[in-house]
Chain A
Amino acid sequence: MSDPILTLKNVHTDIAQYHILHGVDLEVPRGQVTMLLGRNGVGKTTTLRTVIGHWQARAGSVFFDGQDITALPTPARARAGIGFVPEDMGIFTDLTVEENMVLAASSAPLDPARLDWIFAAFPPLKTFWDSEAGNLSGGQKQMLSIARAMAEERKLYLIDEPTKGLAPAIVSTMARALKDLKNQGASILLVEQNFSVAKALGDSVAVMDDGKVIWTGAMAELAGSAELQDTLMGLSMEAH
């Protein structure tokens, strides 16, 4: 197996006076979807935010594509090829859908072929292309936030709970789009609470608890063992 696209070694992150990550070790293989699972509040979102650089790791290191990015500022990490879809979607509501997409393509003008692919995955974005993003529905906003990450080819996508609070029909649209992205060979680190979506998309899995990764393995292994699911994540999955 080739070297991983992303490696976290013993990462500690503090938010104000709170110590959230207690030494996270994580590898995200190239060309795969890695699911980051765990109960609420165990540090999944903080892990993603540490990778993109919104929080700085206090100790430990983050390697991306063979480069140590631990000390890099957020924009440099993004330019190195990391796309980020935050939990709150981070839509610019005052801007139109088009303007959101234009901004998302930060290194070059939007590629029409790529745009067609995005429109195929998320038809409403085409319909509301000239409308203010603030007027979109919740599901449409989520589509836009993922579409923004897809606006350019990136080496790694960090996606935080893309199906959170969405209606089942939209969840499946979202899952299809992510599958599509995966089939193009993208590397994705995905936080997902919906286990059926996770099962369908994930190649490998990292389970977090209390600011650490406590188990890693293949999705198939986790999906195949109810006992493992119980011990690792009992609490989180029951809710869904």
Chain B
Amino acid sequence: MTAAPDHTPTFAALTPMERLDKATPILMVPVLVVLGFLAIGSTSSWLTLTVSGLAMGMMIFIMASGLTLVFGLMDVINFGHGAFISVGAFVGVSVLVALSGWTGAASLMLNLAAILLAVIAAMSVTAVLGWGFERVIVRPVYGAHLKQILVTVGGLIVIEQLIHVVWGPSEIYINRPEMLQGAVTFAGAAIEKYRLLAVAVGLVLFVAMRLVLRRTKIGLIVRAGVENGEMVRALGYRLSLVFIGVFVAGSALAGLGGVMWGLYQEVITAGMGERMMILVFIVVIIGGLGSVEGAFIGALMVGLLQNYIAFLEPKLALISNIGLMTAILMWRPQGMLPVVKAK
């Protein structure tokens, strides 16, 4: 009637194969970097490409992290997430344009201050927007995936159109702040300053996110909730509040990602979020739905691969991600670091 009792302690040392299996996802990024080096051959090109791949990956990770957690916690998939990316970019760029005196000055402090203000504005607006989106759009369709997808796509359409209403129909061009233009030369490789900033911001965020998830009680609740929300509620935690918090934080991060991506591309459009969502989804699928670490590894791989391939075989660059996704799914159908649902 019941399964055979299992009471032998399972702390026997892992076999080398098991260890390798566990470590593989983490090893994939360095392996990719090494493979890139072998394929490219030139140290300076490789360095330039690696940094820009990492920068791109970090920005995608920032946009993807909220989405994957929201899914893990409440089984909610938000196709409207891209709208926050676009809104963040437009708000941030508007602030930067308004502060053109600061961004045009040859002072790193003023430049960074302008970016900081832009980021704060963008994140505040997208946080509020996310809160409203959760209440109005997502809340009524908990538990119904089909409706969730439809309704959040509807939300995406409406918000994109509202961007047109507020900011007009055409794209907006933006220059990076004075001191972040151009490149530094390192070991013979030209590395754009802005990319270094993007890598730094992404790293700091990832480390901060990990610390919150590993070291704080709220992080414990989130991680436990991703695995078994019902039990978290039975322990007395109001998971719905935690979920709203994560949704709002995720929306704010999408806004941050939008500003950073806008400055990276130096042009923003209402449809940019929608286009980024394709990469974001690929990253989330590769990483395993619900896993922040998975999304981080996935984002870096997507960024690196796309840059390496763009150098080696330009025509294939934009579909390299699909190839990567296919390969990963053949290996692990649930993604690299799937979150185990206890239910």
- The reply to whether chain A is a binding partner of chain B is yes
Cβ of B27 under 8 Å from chain A: no
Q: Which of B228-242 contact A (CB under 8 A)?
A: 228, 230-239
Give every chain A residue within 8 A of B30 (Cβ-Cβ). none
What is the CA–CA distance of A170 and B2 in the complex, to the nearest angstrom?
16
Cβ of B221 under 8 Å from chain A: yes
The closest CB in chain B to the CB of A128 belongs to B11
Complex partner residue of A92 from B10, B217, B224, CB under 8 angstroms: B224
The closest CB in chain B to the CB of A109 belongs to B217
Complex partner residue of B221 from A100, A103, A169, CB under 8 angstroms: A103
What is the CA–CA distance of A88 and B231 in the complex, to the nearest angstrom?
10
What is the CA–CA distance of A181 and B228 in the complex, to the nearest angstrom?
26
Cβ of A183 under 8 Å from chain B: no
Cβ of B178 under 8 Å from chain A: no
The closest CB in chain B to the CB of A105 belongs to B235
A93 in contact with B234 (CB, 8 Å): no
Most chain B CB inside 10 Å of its own CB: which residue of A75, A138, A170? A75
Cβ of A233 under 8 Å from chain B: no
A137 in contact with B7 (CB, 8 Å): yes
Q: Of the 9-residue stretches A18-26, A160-168, A199-207, which lies at the interface with chain B? A: A160-168
Give every chain B residue within 8 A of A86 (Cβ-Cβ). 230-231, 234
The closest CB in chain A to the CB of B239 belongs to A75
Give every chain A residue within 8 A of B233 (Cβ-Cβ). 53-54, 73-75, 78
B223 in contact with A148 (CB, 8 Å): no
Most chain B CB inside 10 Å of its own CB: which residue of A93, A102, A103, A139? A103
B6 in contact with A138 (CB, 8 Å): yes
Instruction: Decide: A94 near B10, CB < 8 A? Known: A52-B234, A75-B236, A84-B234.
Output: no
Instruction: Decide: A93 near B5, CB < 8 A? Known: A75-B239, A106-B237.
Output: no
Give every chain B residue within 8 A of A74 (Cβ-Cβ). 230, 233-234
Q: Which of A69-124 contact B (CB under 8 A)?
A: 73-75, 78-79, 84, 86, 88, 90-95, 99-100, 102-104, 106-107, 124
A135 in contact with B2 (CB, 8 Å): no
Interface size class of B (residues with CB under 8 A): 20 to 34
Shortest beta-carbon distance from B293 to chain A in Å: 11
Cβ of B146 under 8 Å from chain A: no
The closest CB in chain B to the CB of A134 belongs to B340
Cβ of B342 under 8 Å from chain A: yes
Most chain A CB inside 10 Å of its own CB: which residue of B2, B224, B235? B235
B230 in contact with A90 (CB, 8 Å): yes
Shortest beta-carbon distance from A117 to chain B in Å: 19
Give every chain A residue within 8 A of B230 (Cβ-Cβ). 54, 74, 86, 90
Give every chain A residue within 8 A of B226 (Cβ-Cβ). 94
Give every chain A residue within 8 A of B239 (Cβ-Cβ). 75
The closest CB in chain A to the CB of B11 belongs to A135
Cβ of B220 under 8 Å from chain A: yes
What is the CA–CA distance of A136 and B7 in the complex, to the nearest angstrom?
9
Cβ of A10 under 8 Å from chain B: no
Shortest beta-carbon distance from B241 to chain A in Å: 9
What is the CA–CA distance of A74 and B240 in the complex, to the nearest angstrom?
11
The closest CB in chain B to the CB of A138 belongs to B6
Cβ of A229 under 8 Å from chain B: no
A94 in contact with B231 (CB, 8 Å): no
Q: What residues make up the interface of B, taking CB atoms closer than 8 Å to A?
A: 1-11, 217, 220-221, 223-224, 226-228, 230-239, 339-340, 342
Apart from A93-B340, A95-B224, A138-B7, list 20 A-B contacts with CB within 8 A: A54-B233, A54-B234, A74-B230, A75-B236, A86-B231, A90-B234, A92-B228, A93-B342, A94-B339, A95-B220, A95-B227, A103-B221, A103-B224, A104-B235, A138-B5, A139-B5, A139-B7, A140-B9, A148-B235, A170-B7
Q: Which 4 pairs between the two chains have the least Cβ-Cβ distance?
A: A78-B236, A90-B231, A106-B236, A138-B6
List 20 A-B residue pairs with CB atoms under 8 Å apart, sorted by A's residue number: A54-B230, A54-B234, A74-B233, A74-B234, A75-B239, A78-B236, A86-B230, A86-B234, A93-B342, A94-B224, A104-B235, A106-B236, A106-B237, A107-B236, A138-B6, A138-B7, A139-B7, A165-B4, A166-B5, A239-B1
